[in-house]
Amino acid sequence: MNLTAEDFLNGQVLLIDKPLEWTSFDAVNFLRSFIRKMYNIKKLKVGHAGTLDPLATGLLIICTGKKTKEVDSYQGMDKVYVGSLLMGATTPSFDKETEPDQTFDISHLTPHDIELARQQFIGEINQIPPIYSAIKIEGKRAFEYARKNTEVKMKSRKVTIHDFQLHNIDLPHVDFTVTCSKGTYIRSLVDDFGKVLNNGAYMTDLRRTQIGEYSVKDAYTIEGFKKMIIDQLAI
């Protein structure tokens, strides 16, 4: 792949492995600035096809130029995530962004209980997104209300969980793999999973490995993308 300024303007689909603690917009803004600088492009449209939380890593599909018109088609694709959860506690953000606010005794939980709970989340389900999310409510991001302790009502939405597998169950730690439709919040899935067990759970790790047929195995790290472009331009 030997890219030119014209290629980026006509449109490229870039597979990027988002780093931990970067927002999806951080990745978009960095790539836009970097490409414009390296190719001396005055104006370049760049957008992503599906947000990843700052505490998640993995596959971002980034579109440039005329390809930004196709973002919706990539957003609609099913996604695969791998991650870990911790049983016996909850956090307001459903992940490690906030400190635990409740703890529960998990000594009564059995493998049978956990399996029955898992089965309840296969198929179409109603899900309420986390208040600590980028969803817009009356012009503001939901997390802005959350950080000011302002109560807002999050609307339920229908999502589809095609597959929800649990691995390496070593309570309180559980690893999982989820294949799901667009709009699914894995943090909410983990929180609801804990509730079904009359317990608590929050997400401790998350990585998106696939969007449709696109795999994170084929993605560039930010540093890898920079090196690829710099090496090309040096030839």
Q: Look up residue 226 and give its two tokens.
A: 């920079």
User: Could you tell me if 60 and 5 are in contact, meaning their C-beta atoms sit under 8 angstroms apart?
Assistant: no
Q: Look up residue 168 and give its two tokens.
A: 């390496």
CA distance 232 to 127: 46
Could you tell me which residues come within 8 angstroms of residue 147 by beta carbon, excluding any fewer than 6 positions away? none
User: Could you tell me if 60 and 16 are in contact, meaning their C-beta atoms sit under 8 angstroms apart?
Assistant: yes
User: Could you tell me if 87 and 200 are in contact, meaning their C-beta atoms sit under 8 angstroms apart?
Assistant: yes
Catalytic option among 53, 95, 191, 192: 53
Active site residue 53: yes
Region of residue 46 (left: phi > 0; alpha: psi -120 to 50; beta: else): beta
CA distance 5 to 65: 10
Closest residue by Cα to residue 117 from 174, 35, 182, 179: 174
Per-residue b or e along 146-176, where b marks 16 or more CB atoms closer than 10 Å to that residue's CB = beeeeeeebeeeebebeebebeeeeebebbb
Residues with a known catalytic role: 53
